[in-house]
Structure 1
Amino acid sequence: MSVERWVFGYGSLMWRPGFEFVERRPATLYGRRRAFCIYSVHHRGTYERPGLVLGLAPGGATRGAAYRIDEAAWPEVYAYLREREQPTETYVEASRPVRLAGGRDVETLVFLSDTAHPQWAGALSLERQAELISGATGLSGPNIDYLRDLVAHLAAEGVRDAGMESLLARVEAIVAQE
């Protein structure tokens, strides 16, 4: 019997995986929470004007999506994920169990926040997060678009994240004043 290959997404991988998969299921990762805890100097900011991107900070639980990958496609998918998720090595690759909708647990590849990396922002205040996100743009576009996409796609998945909704409201208020 072959080993099942799964990938867990909690941010843009939920709505823009960028790879072929056999199955996509709602899933929950326990022991980590979704947070804007990583300074972005590539996708959503620059070294001169960093933005913030999501990471999995210690504590809590995160609802996201698990993707089952065909074994034959795994090498290509894994190489793609390494290039996409690790441009500045801000994450630690790990194997962690997630609970799929329906109750089954599967091991997944997940990218955890590296709290020792220089881009680790840690627990920033809502105000500081909003300031960073409101004015940053990187190779993948404005940082606020990433936050808007996150809130919209979580809602489409039936996930209400009051913290992310509050952050978006604060960022939009800052942008409206500019």
Structure 2
Amino acid sequence: MPQLTPDLITRVPPPPEGSAAPPPDEARLRAEMTVFLHDRDPKLGIWVFAYGALMWKHEDCAPDIITPARLPGLARRYELSDVHDRGAPARPGLTLGLSPNAALACPGLLLHLPGPDLPNRLWPVWKQEMGPGFYIPEWHDALLTTTHDGHGAPVRALCFVTRRDHRLHVGERPVHEVADTLSRAAGPNGSAAAYLMDAVGILRANGMRDAMLESMEAEVARRLHAMEPTSGEPGRSAG
């Protein structure tokens, strides 16, 4: 199965001008985070389930434990239009969301944010995930996958689930349409193809697989292989 490589990523067309995201309303976001945490002791830590860029972009929240896990009943899907991160208003990309699927269990990473100063540790994650406005914070039971059979005890974790009534929610698209979009989308934080490569890579490094992501990786790799190399790089970022 074809895999994405940094050399193939350089074939993604550079992002169009004017794709910077508007600054987030930090006062509103902090107030919403405070309300969400109102019944939790700030001296105690929490678990956060990461399934997208948070799997590799979490240094600011300094988790003391990072471990593989699965989230039963939810699956990652390219179902959100991306106009400010790995896409632009003039050439939108697609980014991942979490949607209900009783037959699947989304593989990802559990990040433990310890106390005693939980709000300050959670804030970088909250700002990163809630800033775009198309996620809802919810508590779900994730399953650790560190046991020999891959099924550990449930851990209550904060998850960022797709807000299906948001204007950027486009729903599930045909594979060929998603692959076409991902192979051409880029924004201030790099290309959608680089994001896909990083997501697949970190799951593999932690002994996990996602059939949808790996199938999409192969489709995007084929498209980039067929493209002429570009003169400039769209750039890559951890975001």
User: Smaller-chain TM-score range?
Assistant: over 0.9
In terms of fraction of residues, the more strand-rich structure is 1
Query: What is the CA distance between 1:3 and its match in structure 2?
Result: 4.2
Higher relative contact order (CA 8 A, sep 6+): 2
Match of 1:5 among 29, 43, 46: 46
Contact 2:74/2:105, CA 8 A, preserved across alignment: yes
- Residue 31 of structure 1 aligns with which residue? 73
Give the aligned length: 178
Give the Å deviation of 1:77. 2.4
Structural mapping, 1:1-178, within 5 Å: 3-18=44-59, 19-59=61-101, 60-101=104-145, 102=147, 103-178=152-227
Deviating more after overlay: 140-149 vs 70-79: 70-79
Runs of 4 or more consecutive aligned structure 1 residues displaced over 3 Å after TM superposition: 1-4
Look at both structures and tell me which one has the larger radius of gyration over its CA atoms.
Answer: 2
* CA shift digits 1:100-126 (9 cap, x unpaired): 234222211110011111111211111
Which structure 1 segments of 5+ residues have no match? none
Which stretch shows the higher mean deviation, 4-13 or 110-119? 4-13
Q: Deviations over 1:88-110 (max 9, x none)?
A: 20100111111123422221111
Q: Deviations over 1:128-171 (max 9, x none)?
A: 10111111111210110001111111111111223212211111
Whole-angstrom distance in 2 between the partners of 1:67 and 1:73: 16
Long gaps (5+) in structure 2: 1-40, 228-239
Q: Normalising by structure 1, what TM-score?
A: 0.92
SS of the aligned residue for 1:54 comes to strand
In the aligned structure 2, how far is the partner of 1:85 from the partner of 1:132?
22
Counterpart amino acid of 2:71? L
Q: State, as a whole percentage, how many aligned pairs show the same letter.
A: 31
Residues of 2 paired with 1:167 and 1:53: CA distance?
13
Shift of 1:63: 1.3
Instruction: Please give the alpha-carbon distance, in whole angstroms, between the structure 2 residues aligned to 1:132 and 1:71.
Output: 41
